[in-house]
Amino acid sequence: IQFCVKTFYVEQKPWKTVYVNYFVKHFIIGVTVLVVAVPEGLPLAVTLSLAYSVKKMMKDNNLVRHLDACETMGNATAICSDKTGTLTTNRMTVVQSYICKKHCKVLPKYGDIPKKVADLIVQGISVNSANTSQILPGANPTDLPIQVGNKTECALLGFVQNLGKRYEDVREQIPEDRYTTVYTFNSVRKSMSTVIPLPNGGYRLYTKGASEIILKKCSFIFGENGTLAPFSKDQQESMIKNVIEPMACDGLRTISIAYKDFVPGEPAPNEVHCQGEPDWTDEDAIVSGLTSICVVGIEDPVRPEVPDAIRKCQTEELLSIATKCGILKPGDDFLILEGKEFNRRIRDSNGEVQQHLIDRVWPKLRVLARSSPTDKYILVKGIIDSKATSNREVVAVTGDGTNDGPALKKADVGFAMGIAGTDVAKEASDIILTDDNFSSIVKAVMWGRNVYDSITKFLQFQLTVNVVAIIVAFVGACVVQDSPLKAVQMLWVNLIMDTLASLALATEMPTPELLLRKPYGRTKALISSTMAKNIIGQAVYQITVVFTLLFVGDKLFNITSGIGQEIGAPPTQHFTIIFNTFVVMTLFNEINARKIHGQRNVFKGIFTNPIFYCIWICSMLAQVVIIQFGGLAFSTTPLSPEQWAGVWYLVLEPWFGNKS
C-alpha cells in the first residue's frame, strides 16, 4: 500500500512492468513474516520431546504404552500404590520364630532346636503344603530363589531350607499319594491340615494356620529342651499377649504349626488311641487336642528402593509397612482405614457414595487396608473428582493384580508391574514398570516434568525469535521500504528456531532438582511470569540492537548504508551485519532458554546434552559459512575481522553483563 501511494499518487509515475518485481518482493516479505510468525515448530518440539523421553524412559525401565502419559506423570499430585508386589517384594519370608518357649528374632539352625521338635517342624511343613508350592533357584547364581505357588507356604519352605534341610527329600519319602486325608485351606477354618500314615501303624495330623485359631485347639506345647507340657487356656492367652501380639506389632503375619498322633497302642499324654481309621469326616474332633510345635512370624519385605523413592515423592501389617516405607511418620495426623470403615464414612444412609463425604476422608487417608477392587476404584475416582482442593488432582495408580485393573484404568496415569503383573493390570495401564521397581516411578515423574520443561524452554526461545523477527521485518519494511532480514535469511532463522532448536532443547536430560519443586497443576499458565520477563527483556534487547544497526550501523562501522537499494543491487555489508548480529543473538539466547526458572548460571549442565552443544556449534559454524560464502543465495557479503569483532562485542557485552 505504501509503495502504491508513494509511486502512483505522490510521485504520479506511470505503470512499468518492472514494478511487478516490487510487488513480488513485498509479497515474499509478507509470506516470510507469516512463516516466522506461526510457531509451527511447537508441535515438532512436543513430539520430539515426548518421543525422546519415551525412548530414554525405556532405559529407565518405564515402558510407555500411551505417549501423553509421561507428560501427565510430571504433574501427578497423588500416587495410590498397591502394597503386595508393588511396595513389597511379594516374597514372603519367615523372620521370627517361637520354638520351645524361646522367641528368636534371628532364625535358628537345625542344631539349635531339640531334634524331635526340629524333625516335626521339617516334616510338618514339607508334607502339609501343596506340592505346587516350590522354591526354585534363580536363573543366575547371584539371583534370589524364585517362589512358585502359595507365598505363605513358600515362606515356610524357605524356613526349612534355612534350618539346613531339604523339603524335597521329605516329599520324596512321603509322596502325596500316601496322604490319608487333606483338609484344604479356606477362609472359614483359616488353616490347612494333612494326615499321613505312621511307619508303625497309626496316623499323624499336621496343621498350620492363623496362630490365634490354631493355639486355641492345642492342649500341649513343647517347652524348654523339647519337653512336653500341658497348654492351658491361661497359657494360651499369655502366649498371644507376649508372643503373637509383639510379632503383629512388628508387621508380621503369624503362622502356628501343630500336630496330633493317632496310635493303635498305649497313647502318650498328647496322643489319641485308635483302632482302625478314625472318622475323618468329623473335622472338629480330629483337629483338636493338638500339640503346638512352633509359631513363626512372616513378612513381605519392603522393596529396598521404596523408602528412598517415597521420600523423594513424598491394619498392623499395613501400618508397619507404611511406616517402613516412609508413608507414615510418628506424630502424623493421618487416617488408616479398612475397607468396611472406608465405605461407612463415604456412603449416605441409602448406601450411596457421596463426593462430599469422600472429600472429608481422602486428604488425610494414607493406608486403605483390606480393600476390594471397588474400594480402590471409588477412592481413585473420588480423588480425581474432588472439590476439596482448588486444582483438579492428577492421580497415578500402581498395581500388579487383576483387582487393581479398575483403579489403573480410571487413574490419569496407571503403572503396572511388568514381571509380576497380570495381563489385566498391564492392559489397563499407561506405563509398565519392566523391572517391578517402585523407584522407576520416581524416574517417570522426573521425565514427565522434564517433558513439560523442554516444551516451555522451546516456547521461550521461539516466542523471542518470533517477536523480534516479526517486528524487525514489519517495521523495517514500513519505514525503509525493505526488510532488513531477507526472505532466505528469515527461512534460515526459522530453520534454527524450529527444527534445530526443538531438537536441541527437547533432548535435555532430567535432573534430581526437578523433584524439589511442586507439580505445575492443570490450570497453571504455560508461560510463567519468569518466562514472560525473559521473552520481553530479550526481545527488547535484540530489537534495540537491530534497529540501532539499521539506522546508525553504517556510521558505527563506517560502511555504505543498505537502505534504499534498488531491486537487483548486490548485498551490502550493512544488512549482512544486521542479519549476522540477529542470528548470533538468537543462538546465544538458545543457551539462555535452557533455564526457565530464573537460574543465573545458564551454562550449568550444558555438557550433559551432546545433542544441544553439537547443534549449537554446527549452527554457529553454518552461520559463519553463510556470511562469508553465502553470496547472492543468502543475500550476504563477507565481513572483515573487525566487523566480526564488532558483531561479537554487541552480542556478548550485554549478554555477559546480564548473566554475571
> 587 - beta bridge partners?
none
CA-to-CA distance for 457 and 462, rounded, in angstroms?
9
* pLDDT value, residue 302: 63
What is the tens place of the pLDDT at every residue in 450-480?
Answer: 888 888 888 888 888 888 888 888 887 778 7
pLDDT for residue 80 is more than 90: no
* pLDDT value, residue 659: 45
Residue ranges, comma separated, of all CATH 3.40.1110.10 domains in the chain are 93-299
- C-alpha distances (whole Å) from 628 to each of 614, 616, 640 are 21, 19, 9
Q: How many CA atoms lie within 13 A of 506 on its CB side?
A: 26
Rounded average pLDDT over 590-611: 86
What is the tens place of the pLDDT at every residue in 49-75?
Answer: 888 888 888 888 888 888 888 788 888
Q: Which of 86-90, 172-176, 251-255, 413-417 has the lowest mean pLDDT?
A: 86-90
* pLDDT value, residue 93: 87
**Buried/exposed 299-311: b ≥16 CB within 10 Å, e otherwise:** bbebbeebbebbe
359 belongs to the catalytic site: no
pLDDT for residue 322 is more than 70: no
pLDDT for residue 140 is more than 60: yes
Give the number of residues written for the chain.
660
Any alpha helices (H) in 194-278, and if so which ranges? 211-216, 233-239, 245-249
CA-to-CA distance for 600 and 660, rounded, in angstroms?
8
* pLDDT value, residue 327: 61
Any alpha helices (H) in 405-528, and if so which ranges? 405-410, 423-428, 439-480, 487-495, 501-505
Q: Does domain 62-88+305-436 have CATH number 3.40.605.10?
A: no
For residue 660, what pLDDT band results from cuts at 50, 70 and 90?
Answer: very low
pLDDT for residue 316 is more than 50: no
* pLDDT value, residue 248: 83
* pLDDT value, residue 347: 92
Rounded average pLDDT over 280-308: 83
For residue 425, what pLDDT band results from cuts at 50, 70 and 90?
Answer: confident
* pLDDT value, residue 657: 54
- Strand, coil or helix: 368: strand
Across all residues in the chain, what is the average pLDDT? Answer: 85
CA-to-CA distance for 194 and 131, rounded, in angstroms?
12
> 298 - beta bridge partners?
94, 253
CA-to-CA distance for 22 and 18, rounded, in angstroms?
7
Specify the CATH superfamily of domain 93-299.
Calcium-transporting ATPase, cytoplasmic domain N (3.40.1110.10)
Q: Which residues contact 376 (CB under 8 A, 6 or more apart)?
A: 80, 82, 368, 397, 399, 403, 404, 406, 407
Q: In this predicted model, which residue has the larger pLDDT, 87 or 596?
A: 596
Rounded average pLDDT over 152-163: 92
pLDDT for residue 48 is more than 50: yes
What is the tens place of the pLDDT at every residue in 342-387?
Answer: 999 999 989 899 999 999 998 888 888 777 888 989 999 999 988 8
What is the tens place of the pLDDT at every residue in 401-412?
Answer: 788 889 999 999
pLDDT for residue 629 is more than 60: yes
Q: Which residues contact 417 (CB under 8 A, 6 or more apart)?
A: 85, 86, 398, 399, 400, 425, 432, 433, 436
* pLDDT value, residue 366: 83
Rounded average pLDDT over 194-218: 92
For residue 170, what pLDDT band results from cuts at 50, 70 and 90?
Answer: very high
* pLDDT value, residue 235: 93
> Which of 447, 345, 506 minimizes the C-alpha distance to 76?
447
3-state SS, 74-127, equals: CCCCEEEECHHHHHECCCCEEEEEEECCEEECCCCCHHHCCHHHHHHHHHHHHH
Share of the chain above pLDDT 70, in %: 91
* pLDDT value, residue 319: 52
CA-to-CA distance for 530 and 101, rounded, in angstroms?
69
Q: In this predicted model, which residue has the larger pLDDT, 150 or 91?
A: 150
Rounded average pLDDT over 433-462: 83
For residue 45, what pLDDT band results from cuts at 50, 70 and 90?
Answer: confident
CA-to-CA distance for 413 and 174, rounded, in angstroms?
51
pTM (two decimals) = 0.64
Residue 121 gets the label, from left (phi > 0), alpha (psi -120 to 50) or beta, of: alpha
**CATH for the 26-56+447-657 domain, from 1.10.3720.10, 1.10.1200.10, 1.20.1110.10, 1.10.287.1080:** 1.20.1110.10
Q: In degrees to the nearest 10, what's the CA dihedral of 198, 200, 201, 206?
A: -20
* pLDDT value, residue 560: 87
**Active-site pick, 60, 68, 82, 143:** 82
Residue ranges, comma separated, of all CATH 3.40.50.1000 domains in the chain are 62-88+305-436
For residue 609, what pLDDT band results from cuts at 50, 70 and 90?
Answer: confident
